[in-house]
Amino acid sequence: MQNTLYVPGNSWVHRLDPVSKILLTVVGLVLTFVLPGHLLPALLLAAMLVLLGTAGVLRRVWAVFAGVALIAITFFVVQGLVYAGNATPALTLGPLTFYREGLLLGLRLTFRLYNILASTLILILTTRPSDLVESLVRRGLPSRFGYVIIAVLQIIPIMVEAAGRITDAQRSRGMETEGSLWVRMRAFIPLMGPLVTSSLIATEERALALEVRGFASNRKPTFLNDETIPSYAWPVRIAALAVLLLGIAGRVMLS
């Protein structure tokens, strides 16, 4: 199992340099909070999904979207019931009445949630963490900040992999780890001790390895590979900035 969320591929998005993909992500995040109403956020989400589809990573995207579906459902339930601006009943389920204003707000929040995820996944799923950090360090980012970025990107896959190894080891020793909810909860507590301990040990080993390799040196680092920026990178950057400016101008004109 790889210690990253990166999905290998050779699409035009994969070949795009990390700085351009950071720009795409930032533009998507800004437009998420700039675009008003429901139609424009829906169009933004559709555009992001098309972009992710051309990169061939939609299967992983759907898995992430399904993982946060409960949060989206919570938006509709909470806002549909208790939003302060509720006035028009839209749906009655037994003793519960959902209001149109709250449901529309829940829809807007859902679009915002999925647009944030889609914008972020453009960078995370199509960029190796090492390439991302190397590109930023080339442009003056301190190595320590680069290490923090790569550690954040790898922490979830590393923890999942470690949890899987520990669970397999406990299962081989006769511990019940599958079955009812109570069995799974009972197996969770013995899992946490080895997981936390192994994480602390791995952190110390990584710190020692970095020191041995001169991580704290003040000298300017050199790089093994040359950075490759495709010819279409600048048109992509210009188009992204143009879309951002149009979105901001539209919001100003409508306000």
Domain residue spans of the chain: 12-127+229-254, 141-212
Q: Look at residue 188 in the predicted model and tell me its pLDDT.
A: 67
Q: Which of 156, 149, 120, 128 is nearest to 26 (CA)?
A: 120
Q: Which of 105, 97, 92 is nearest to 81 (CA)?
A: 97
How far the first Cα of the chain sits from its last, in Å, is: 49
Q: Give yes or no for residue 194 having a pLDDT over 80.
A: no
At 198, the amino acid letter reads S
Range with lowest mean pLDDT among 32-41, 84-93, 219-228: 219-228
Angular region, 11: left φ>0, alpha ψ -120 to 50, beta rest:
beta
pLDDT tier at 19, thresholds 50, 70, 90: very high
Distance CA 231, CA 211 (A): 38
Q: Mean pLDDT across the stretch 187-215? A: 71
Q: Give yes or no for residue 234 having a pLDDT over 80.
A: yes
Q: Look at residue 52 in the predicted model and tell me its pLDDT.
A: 95
Contacting residues for 18 by C-beta, under 8 A, at least 6 apart: 123, 127, 131, 132, 135, 136
At 250, the amino acid letter reads G
Task: State the residue for tokens 């001790």.
Answer: 193
pLDDT tens column, 97-137: 899 999 999 999 999 999 999 999 999 999 988 888 888 88
Selected residue with higher pLDDT from 202 and 39: 39
Selected residue with higher pLDDT from 189 and 251: 251
pLDDT tier at 48, thresholds 50, 70, 90: very high
Range with lowest mean pLDDT among 47-51, 82-86, 140-144: 140-144
Q: Give yes or no for residue 181 having a pLDDT over 70.
A: no
Residue 9: alpha-carbon gap to chain centroid: 18
Distance CA 146, CA 15 (A): 21
**Do 216 and 138 meet the contact criterion of CB atoms below 8 Å apart?**
no
Q: Where are the alpha helices (DSSP H) in 55-180?
A: 58-67, 69-82, 100-124, 129-138, 143-172
- Ranked by mean pLDDT, the top range of 24-33, 61-70, 162-171, 196-205 is 24-33
> 66: which 2 tokens?
């399904």
Q: Give yes or no for residue 169 having a pLDDT over 70.
A: yes
Distance CA 23, CA 141 (A): 16
Q: Give yes or no for residue 1 having a pLDDT over 50.
A: no
Neighbours of 40 (CB within 10 A): 17
Selected residue with higher pLDDT from 212 and 246: 246
